[in-house]
Amino acid sequence: MGAERMSKQGTSRTALMAAVALVCAVTVLAAPGAAFAAPAPTPSPSTTPAGSKPLKTKDLEAVRAKIDKLYHDAAVATDAYNAATEKAEKQSVEIVKLAQKIAAGQSRLDRLRSSAGAAAREQYRTGGIPRETQFLLSGDPQLFLDNAGRLHQGQQATKNLLSQLTKTQEELAQYADDASAKWKQLDEGAKEKAAAKKKVEKQIKEAQQLENKLEKKERERLRKLEEEAEQKRQTAWLSSGVLKEINGKATPAGKKAVQFATAQLGKPYVWGAEGPKSYDCSGLTSQAWAAAGHGIPRTSQEQWKQLKHIDVKDMRPGDLIIYHDDASHVGMYIGDGAIIHAPRPGRTVTVAGAGSMAILGVVRPDA
């Protein structure tokens, strides 16, 4: 029964993805006014009093454009926050390793000093003349020959001991300097992280305040305008015939990544989150590929920088589509012209058209 249920769930998800792609492909929408033109600046709307005229479409479009920009800026700041977090984690690991090296070096230095102290005490007991030298001065030729090698060895041992002491002291000083530098970087990173956090929260709060000033019906119209804009872009993308060229098959790892992402459908977007209860866009993609056995960068910008770039026509399920000129958003391609992504605050992990946003390029985690 469990296997049958999983099979049915898989079938329904596949049907959902295919349905989304089909609807996007056949829906031809009239352009809603100047939906994609840069709107002229307009005053922020206030709550519409009961009985007053609702906002005109062009005014609502201006609101939508402003909200989109605020959420876009919040996404950029979120990437900066996530990058600072990832950097801080790496620096903390490096500091721990340096601390371990310092502890081991200090222990070694203590042993070397103990050996040096023993050598000094021995010299004191023999009146300042090492035992080997006493052998040389004994007047016994055979004893001289027997111990000449020992004298040389003793001299070398003393030199080695002093050399090791010096080297260990220098290493400890370098480790301490490195640790101090890492602590400074960690402190600077914490300030960058705090600044990014403040910016994210400011942008999101401003966007939410804009939406909250609208009447319920106007918020519904705003959501409709958003959907229409996305569908129009998706329709234009599909109309280019791009799907005719895309026929790549998912690798085993790609299938695992898609399965993980699919299992997160409906979970809320939370900036900076990487599961298991909520995700931001790159938190979802990085965790999906971690579940597939491939660690990838945490942020969409680093995913764009570090992963292999491929042509859109060579795209296969599991590949990541990076959006906008600044690589501030990412979604996972699942086939049939669709992606799974975590859109923005106030939304949930969902299926969307792969061309519903401005595509920067495609990267492959398991190249």
Q: Write out the catalytic residue numbers.
A: 281, 329, 341
Contact of 106 with 176, CB cutoff 8 Å:
no
- Comparing CA positions, the residue from 242, 241, 246, 233 lying closest to residue 356 is 233
Strand partners, 182: none
Q: How far is CA 96 from the centre of its chain?
A: 21
Contact of 317 with 255, CB cutoff 8 Å:
yes
Which residue in the block uniquely carries the two structure tokens 């979802």? 284
Contact of 54 with 217, CB cutoff 8 Å:
yes
Name 351's Cβ contacts closer than 8 Å, sequence gap at least 6.
16, 17, 20, 265, 334, 338, 339, 340
Structure tokens at 69: 């920009």
HSE on the CB side for 365, CA within 13 Å?
A: 37
